[in-house]
Structure 1
Amino acid sequence: MKPGSKKHSYFYRNGLTIVFLTLFIATLAAQALTGWKKHNQDLKEDHAAEIGLTTYLQSGHFISATFENFESEFLQMALYVLLTVSLRQIGSAESKSLDKPEEVDREPKPSKDAPWAVRKGGWILKLYSNSLSICFAILFLASWATHLYGSWQNHNVEQLAKHLPKESVTAYLGQAEFWFETFQNWQSEFLSVASIVFLTIYLRQKGSPESKPVDAPDLETGK
């Protein structure tokens, strides 16, 4: 802690992460419980045996529903991080300035307080300089693959309930079902990003780092 700086509580210093993680856990639990009841209702209608909650958490129904959402969120963030490097939107709080140099574009300089990768330099620094987008891309690909696995497993459960043969993952990939699940999530994420990019031109939220100052001109770009 820097000399003279105010000492804050752990929650004050980490409140944003704590609140969002708490909301995530609470809503994931609610999704699991309601999804379990809905899945058992579907099984009952198909004259199949109901399953317990533990079994449901390992089922394709739960895995697919969970990871198709993760997938779209990580894709959104990966593209957002990458596209805001070079693309601009005049007047948006989410865009870099059209003309002025930005602090995020400066070349990293080693110092005693800099991250280890900056002090190390070389390929490690190059990797670290792009680590945020790389991390989101890996999370997206892992979530996409897990969504595919869960959706395929759930599809085959439905096939058996209808007394139809199971299908291979390759055959399932050629069907519209998986891609319908995929694109309905992707389009909503792209719309949400476009909304915050555009709406921050004209609308404000006092105190939020995602907004321009309340008295800033509409066409002033950046925060």
Structure 2
Amino acid sequence: MNKGFFYKNSLSIAFLTLFIIALAGQYYFGWKENNAELQEMGNEGLALLAYLKSGHFIAATFENFQSEFLQMMLYVVLTISLRQIGSAESKSLTEKEEVDRDPKPGPEAPALVNKGGWRLKLYQHSLTIAFALLFLISWGMHLYGSFEQFNHERIIKQELPLTLANFLQEPEFWFESFQNWQSEFLSVASIVILSIFLRQKGSPESKPVDAPHTETGK
């Protein structure tokens, strides 16, 4: 039976829909919170659309993005060579995996595989490269937003704004970064370790329900 577009892409659609809903909620309630803080300091609140360009919104949004992309980049890279006995998230301890085989050109292979050469070399690491670039862009936007918000608050308090170099010596930006990074590392460690002993029937992130705890991989 030929499945429709939504069935074939339902996982992506579901997560993108949840993302849009959550981002809209963050935007609205962040706007309310920021305006409440501004009014407490004796300033006028921002219009809803103006909040989109504020350091408060940019910092909060990309603070979360960059930690997620860092998590995924490290997860992709570290699972190449590191193992965890019994985990559904680990490659086999002894056997070669399908993902380790050399790419072969063919009619159904991606175009860059068939081109070979430097294009293939790049394509072989394209997932890691994409996550690394997304992390760096998000980290830069988080830095920009946090820097803007920090100086905006200083100006309201009638203090001189800091240069970017001086701002990077302040603890606030690094506190924001590390509090997000540690939660991402913990979440990955949780799925790696919990999938050794726990199961979810039907999920590709779980081993079969009757698989022994020591069985590694799916």
So what's the TM-score if we normalise by structure 2?
0.99
**Aligned residue runs from structure 1 range 13-32, under 5 A:** 13-32=8-27
What's the Cα RMSD here? 0.5
State the alpha-carbon separation in 2 of the partners of residues 217 and 25 from structure 1.
39
Asked if residue 222 in structure 1 is aligned to residue 217 in structure 2, the reply is yes
SS of the residue corresponding to residue 101 of structure 1 reads: coil
Partner of 1:147: 142
Code of the residue aligned with 1:25 in structure 2: it is I
Q: CA deviation at 1:169?
A: 1.1
Q: Deviations over 1:21-73 (max 9, x none)?
A: 00000000000000000000000000011110111010000000000000000
State the alpha-carbon separation in 2 of the partners of residues 54 and 160 from structure 1.
22
Which sections of structure 2, spanning at least 5 residues, go unmatched?
none
Code of the residue aligned with 1:161 in structure 2: it is I
Partner of 1:67: 62
Asked if residue 133 in structure 1 is aligned to residue 122 in structure 2, the reply is no
Partner of 1:82: 77
Number of paired residues?
A: 218
Q: CA deviation at 1:160?
A: 1.0
Q: Deviations over 1:96-120 (max 9, x none)?
A: 0000110000000000100001100
SS of the residue corresponding to residue 23 of structure 1 reads: helix
Asked if residue 12 in structure 1 is aligned to residue 7 in structure 2, the reply is yes
State the alpha-carbon separation in 2 of the partners of residues 105 and 95 from structure 1.
13
Q: CA deviation at 1:145?
A: 0.3
Q: Percent of pairs identical after alignment?
A: 63
State the alpha-carbon separation in 2 of the partners of residues 221 and 51 from structure 1.
53
Partner of 2:91: 96
**Aligned residue runs from structure 1 range 70-219, under 5 A:** 70-219=65-214
SS of the residue corresponding to residue 179 of structure 1 reads: helix
Code of the residue aligned with 1:7 in structure 2: it is N
Which sections of structure 1, spanning at least 5 residues, go unmatched?
1-5
Query: Which shifted more, 155-164 or 65-74?
Result: 155-164
Code of the residue aligned with 1:129 in structure 2: it is Q
State the alpha-carbon separation in 1 of the partners of residues 108 and 5 from structure 2.
22
State the alpha-carbon separation in 2 of the partners of residues 201 and 26 from structure 1.
33
SS of the residue corresponding to residue 53 of structure 1 reads: coil
Code of the residue aligned with 1:137 in structure 2: it is A
In the alignment, which of 37, 40, 43 is matched to residue 48 of structure 1?
43
State the alpha-carbon separation in 2 of the partners of residues 48 and 172 from structure 1.
24
* Displacement over 6 Å in runs of 4+: none
